[in-house]
Amino acid sequence: MRGKKGPFNGSVDCSTEKMSKDIRKGGFITTTFNSLLGWGRKFSLFQYPFITACCGMEYMSVACAHYDLDRFGMGWTRFTPRQADMLLVVGTITHKEAPVLRTVYEQMTEPKWVVAFGACAVSGGIYDNYAVVQGIDRIIPVDVYIPGCPPRPETILNALIKLQEKIQKEGHDWKWKRKK
């Protein structure tokens, strides 16, 4: 077992083989409640895809069998924001649509995380004009930014694993709130 804190100490690798060996020998695991919550939450991210543009194609390939998000514990797509933990903003957000996106964000229950997916969601992309919001962080807080037009599936997987690391490390409140 690595360190005194046990397997839930912020590492992605939980070394289950060694863990189960220790438990079979009559051992036990110690951890903090916070890192246990983080471990549970990072591997059960229910996603809500808010797809408005061509990045959606890339999202589909990531979410479906070729790249398979489900390997990382975030395969379950929810089609209501009230059941989702992770908001994927995939594509261009216009000023006309901005109130909709903010409503969707506000409908999600805590704890929640937001991913800006692709150049348009990150910064407005090539659309520097009258219609397009210059990055969704002008409307809602964002946890992970994924650049690319559109991003490669590997980039997306990398970003989502980074989000998992972030969730593992951050402070959790067991009253279903995210500590500020």
Task: Give the binding site for another protein (CB under 8 A).
Answer: 95-96, 98-99, 102, 128-131, 133-134, 137-141
Of 17 and 128, nearer to another protein (C-beta) is 128
Give min distance, CB of 11 to another protein, in A. 34
Contact 152, 172 (CB under 8 A): no
CB of 137 to another protein, least distance (A): 7
Of the pair 52, 61, the CB lying nearest another protein is at 52
* 3-class DSSP state of 103: helix
Yes or no: say if 112 and 178 are a contact pair by the CB < 8 Å rule: yes
Closest distance between another protein and the C-beta of residue 57, in Å?
A: 24
Burial string for 150-161 (b: 16+ CB within 10 Å, else e) reads bbebebbbebbe
Task: Give 67 or 127: the residue with its C-beta nearer to another protein.
Answer: 127
